Amino acid sequence: MSYLLDTNVCSAHIRRPGGVAHRFVQHSGRLWMPTIVLGELYAGAYLLDVPDRILLGIDELRKDVELLGFDEACAEEFGKVRGWLHRRGIQGNPVDLMIAAVALVHDLTLVTHNTRHFQNIPNLRLEDWLTP
């Protein structure tokens, strides 16, 4: 099984590399990060007066994961998921839905600590590596 990492898991790994390091080693070569998450990590770094430590952490993280872009197939899947949720009266954060779309298109399990943000998305496999 291969995994798509959400922002909170990547951020936790940057802040405390030892916290989920065993998972990164265990699943080496099967870890993916959407470019959307990379953007969120950069945004978080540049909110700081001195982003150097976080930027270094992002560089280190990039050695352990492969990037996946948000392409046309992901855009269509995003539309399907958002429409499906809307018809059922369920609101979803568009960025979270974009990340979910990447996972669905590439048949990856989404690793997130915010499982409740994604729990209503059909066929999306979820794991939480931050809950003990």
Q: pLDDT of 30-75, one tens digit each?
A: 999 999 999 999 999 999 999 999 999 999 999 999 999 999 999 9
Instruction: Name the pairing type of β-strands 109-111 and 126-127.
Output: parallel
Q: How confident is the model at residue 16 (pLDDT cuts 50, 70, 90)?
A: confident
Q: How confident is the model at residue 18 (pLDDT cuts 50, 70, 90)?
A: confident
Please, which residues have CB within 8 angstroms of residue 65's CB and are 6 or more apart in sequence?
A: 5, 10, 31, 32, 33
Mean pLDDT within 99-117: 97
What share of the chain in percent tops pLDDT 70?
A: 99
Domain-embedded: residue 18: yes
User: How far is the C-alpha of 89 from the C-alpha of 91, rounded, in Å?
Assistant: 7
State residue 60's pLDDT score. Answer: 94
DSSP helix/strand/coil, 7: helix
Domain-embedded: residue 112: yes
Domain-embedded: residue 103: yes
Q: Which domain holds residue 81?
A: 3-127
Would the pTM count as exceeding 0.85? Answer: yes
Domain count, the chain: 1
What share of the chain in percent tops pLDDT 90?
A: 93
Domain-embedded: residue 132: no
Domain CATH number, residue 110? 3.40.50.1010
